[in-house]
Chains A and B, each alone.
Chain A
Amino acid sequence: MYKIAEMVRASFVIAKSYKINLIFSIIALFFTTIPFYFAAHALQPTMGKVVQQQGGDFFGFVLLGLIAISLLTTSLTGVYNSVSGSVTSGWLEAQMGTSTSIPVLLVGMAAYDFIWTLVRVSILLIYGRILGVHVHWAGLLLGAPVLFLLCIAYFGLGLVLASMFLAFRTIGPAQSVIMMGSTLLGGVYYPTEIIPGWIHWLSVVIPTTYGLRAVRQLVLNGSPLIAVVPDVLIMGAIAAISLGIGALTFRTAFNYSRQRGTLSQY
């Protein structure tokens, strides 16, 4: 934990040195939210009924979708970006020389991005509250671990992407496919119920379908935990499977890379 904390600290010092970037990333959140606010209000008469079970406020529904997608993007790309950047710069090779275990290095390298995203989504939630979203704070406490499970599922997929990079030096369109699939079919901006039947079956295999539905019911509707247990259990299973596959794939790709001599190719 101490090692990860120091890695996060160093990343923070680096991020702090880009002052303009830091300020703009906060301001940009506000401008990202506003169009969604107006669009959601325009669609409220129609969509309000569809999202009744998840609070009935369509802007709140979309806001939670935005929050989740920010966290999931970071969970997915954080470890891949760290691995690809550190392999090509020789940074991973240098860190390996410290005999720190690879899992600690991976978590440490991706941790700052995740923490920073948490800060940004917290600000997003405050914006939402100011713009009239009704948040059940007790539900938020219950929803946070569910969101965390969702992040673990995407972290597992991120490990698979990092493995693809180690093995093939490219991930092709995999990252875009995963994020686009999750956004379009996972109920980020609209409930999965309105997706046409011929493609609806795909949303069943997308983790956000379960995770976001559960989080919205807890945070926006104030539902008790018991109401979302099935979704949470499915989420937990998906997270466990994803992390397991990710870890196994990464280990295999890491050894393959050592065998091929591409672990420190720059």
Chain B
Amino acid sequence: MTIAADMPLPSGLQPAAGPTAIVCRGLVKSFPVRRTWSQAIRRPFHTEWQLVTDHLTCDVVQGELFGLLGPNGAGKTTLMRMLATTVLPDKGTATVHGADVVRDARAVRGMIASVVANERALLWRISASDNLRYFAALLGLRGAARTARINEVLELVEMTDTGHKMVGEFSSGMRQRLLIARALLGTPRVLLLDEPTRSLDPVSARQFRRFMTRLVREQARCTVLLATHSTDEAMELCDRIGVLDRGRLLAVGRPSDFSADLTRDTFRAWLTGDVMPALRQLIERGVLSDATELPGRDGAWREFSLVVPGGHESAAEVVRALVQSNVDVARIERIPVSVADIIERVLAQQPARVARV
């Protein structure tokens, strides 16, 4: 995990490995703060500004699925909207495949497709196919090419059988898939997904993640910028994730880096038998750094927190050694990390790290 700072690309920030699709340098954006009546009367010509992105600098590699994590108001959606050209940056530059989001806005719009979890941005009284036909026309597709592309994207989102149905009859998950299909119509080079599973139930969200993995990895092969609050999405889908807070990109790294950094190789194990001598032996051998019994107990199974330096390989050695010592192992797993953990940890580390950068 590495820490980002101001433009130009800080030395501490992990450089993009490969040709870049999105390059942001020192993006600054402020919005006026809504005022109360009394404030407006007292100082009618005064405007207060809230800094939403603060010299934000990042690169996204072509073909990469880059996740943006951060608390509400961190600047994720504003960054997405600046890239989609619906919001103008105050300072700094952002380019999409070399096209500037301010100077070449139309060129950028031609390369980018944005998916916001907003079902209202569909025409509910007409069919899914007609919704796609509408957008295909705006993208300049006509005739047989248009029909073929509509069928292709409907197949991609597994809606071939329901394409003729009115959107108003769809579930939230189906509408979400239709939004994706619509975004893919023009074969975008960059896909912006802003909390795509926000309105989905856990099962639909899981289906959506599977669908996205297949779609992005195997079929569409475009660059994806994904803003999310979901740990599963961040960990399962993303090649790299960046943590934003108050408009600054604080850390960028692979999900596994964040996970390892946070859990510090802590595993949870359910064991039974003569456990304590076996664990003591492993600590003496240096395979385990620490072992603590947790209050959880399921019948004969006792729950332990084990610190295993070296990750999964060492964990496998621990299991082998425990079994050889006649300790039964029901389950061993790395303690799962949540988005909140990642954000909290990065925020907690932030002042010291930025000072170092």
CB within 8 Å of B: which residues of A? 2-3, 5-7, 10, 13-14, 17-18, 89-91, 93-101, 105, 255, 258-261, 263-264, 266
Q: Which B81-139 residues sit within 8 Å CB-CB of chain A? A: 81, 84-88, 106-107, 109-110, 112-114, 116, 118, 120-121, 123, 125-126, 130, 133-135, 137-139
A87→B142 CA distance, assembly (Å): 27
Residues of B within 8 A of A100 (CB): 138-139
A258→B78 CA distance, assembly (Å): 11
A177→B121 CA distance, assembly (Å): 32
Residues of B within 8 A of A97 (CB): 84, 109, 112-114, 183
A sample of 22 inter-chain contacts (CB < 8 A) reads A2-B137, A10-B123, A10-B133, A14-B123, A14-B125, A14-B126, A17-B166, A93-B86, A93-B116, A95-B135, A95-B138, A96-B85, A96-B86, A97-B109, A97-B112, A99-B109, A99-B139, A259-B88, A260-B31, A261-B31, A261-B52, A266-B118
Residues of A within 8 A of B112 (CB): 97
Partner of B134, one of A6, A89, A260: A6
A-B interface contact total, Cβ < 8 Å: 93
Indicate if the CB atoms of A266 and B109 lie closer than 8 Å.
no
A2→B116 CA distance, assembly (Å): 27
10 A-B pairs closest in CB distance: A6-B137, A98-B138, A90-B121, A99-B109, A99-B110, A89-B120, A94-B121, A14-B125, A90-B118, A100-B138
Indicate if the CB atoms of A99 and B121 lie closer than 8 Å.
no
Indicate if the CB atoms of A263 and B116 lie closer than 8 Å.
no
Q: A2-B137, A90-B120, A98-B139 are in contact. Are A17 and B125 (CB under 8 A)?
A: yes
Query: Number of B residues whose C-beta is below 8 Å from A?
Result: 38
A92 CB → nearest B CB, Å: 9
Indicate if the CB atoms of B137 and A7 lie closer than 8 Å.
yes
Indicate if the CB atoms of A10 and B84 lie closer than 8 Å.
no
B153 CB → nearest A CB, Å: 14
A13→B131 CA distance, assembly (Å): 11
Indicate if the CB atoms of A258 and B121 lie closer than 8 Å.
no
Please indicate which of the listed interface residues A14, A94, A101 has the most CB atoms of chain B within 10 Å of its own CB: A94
Indicate if the CB atoms of A91 and B87 lie closer than 8 Å.
no
Check B32 for interface membership: any CB of A closer than 8 A. yes
A259→B32 CA distance, assembly (Å): 10
Partner of B78, one of A10, A90, A259, A261: A261
B56 CB → nearest A CB, Å: 15
B147 CB → nearest A CB, Å: 13
Indicate if the CB atoms of B106 and A99 lie closer than 8 Å.
yes
Indicate if the CB atoms of A263 and B139 lie closer than 8 Å.
no
User: Other than the known A3-B137, A13-B125, A89-B121, what 17 A-B pairs have Cβ atoms closer than 8 Å?
Assistant: A10-B126, A10-B130, A13-B126, A17-B166, A89-B118, A89-B120, A90-B121, A93-B121, A97-B84, A97-B112, A98-B186, A99-B110, A258-B87, A258-B88, A260-B32, A261-B52, A266-B120
